[in-house]
A = this chain, B = another copy of it.
């Protein structure tokens, strides 16, 4: 028998992607979808691609509507999750795709987000290397899960194996990400108009001010880093979805290229969703479209003394909704890959 599921924030991009994936998940049945402004409308009016859920009507996003489900997925603007989840029963599995419960440091929260701090939940990046294994150990049986930020996932998966294994230094990392605008949400802002974005690339949140900075440091420290420092710049490029992260780190002197490659291949050998490409091959974001896959390519630049790691994900899947469902699968004891595809929709 399926578990009953509610999705809050169902009219946005993250909510829509959760629903697309949940609609074909054999263990879940979406019974409730909610929205702030569009309550009362058919879901399919707002999300015309979700034909299989044409029977659902948007309801208001409040604690009463969300109560009584086995699982609740939240795809809300930051600051909203705390309000609606406080009233949910402790036994309900709650998966938050927003930022409210990601940071373990209240000081970081205050500096980068501000407002009331609701505390960290179990972090939903199963492949994250930890001192004792991977983060999936912590996710088993969890009932409150915080899904990572999409840029954070792309960078963490790219760099954690090198830091964990000690082949790179964590104190002067540089990551530049080509990202699609769907990560910025379904918000009518002039700078996100198609006319502004098509045929153009532009950086934003430059110079260490992006809110994903402390979360990246938190992850890489968990992977074994000391004194993690990163310069991280996202660049909007003209594709709806996708993140291509180019991350570089200083190579520990004396390390060979095969030691580098071994670090990543060992870390992800058993991972169903993280694939290290052969030497000389580098990923395209299109190869991950709609899939919960992260593809990783590696090169050592001897002249520069740096390792360069290219990682590709779909920001709405492995970067958000897919990670949420993967974490829920682990928390609830289902096979981790249930309802998730590894094959991208390309070209």
Contact = CB atoms under 8 A, between A and B. Distances in A.
Interface in A56-99: none
A20 B186 contact: no
A290 B345 CA distance: 7
Interface string A216-257: 000000000000011101010111111010101010000000
A39 interface: no
A199 interface: yes
Contacts of A347: 13, 16, 182, 186, 195-196, 198-200, 240-241
Q: How many copies does the complex hold?
A: 4
Contacts of A304: 172, 174, 208, 229-231
Contacts of A238: 194, 198, 237-239
A49 B231 contact: no
Contacts of A295: 48
B176 A246 contact: yes
A289 B201 contact: no
Given A181-B193, A240-B199, A310-B206, A343 B20 contact: yes
A259 interface: no
A198 B204 contact: no
Given A202-B244, A244-B203, A343-B20, A231 B301 contact: yes
Contacts of A345: 20, 49, 289-290, 345
Interface in A288-309: 288-291, 293, 295, 297, 299-306, 308
B282 A206 contact: yes
7 contacts: A186-B193, A199-B347, A200-B285, A202-B282, A202-B283, A208-B303, A345-B345
Interface of A: 13, 16, 20, 23-24, 45, 47-53, 172, 174, 176, 178, 180-182, 184, 186, 188-190, 192-204, 206-208, 213, 229-231, 233, 235, 237-242, 244, 246, 248, 250, 275, 277, 281-291, 293, 295, 297, 299-306, 308, 310, 312, 341-347
Given A48-B277, A199-B285, A202-B285, 8 more contacts: A49-B344, A49-B345, A178-B178, A199-B347, A229-B303, A229-B305, A233-B248, A237-B239
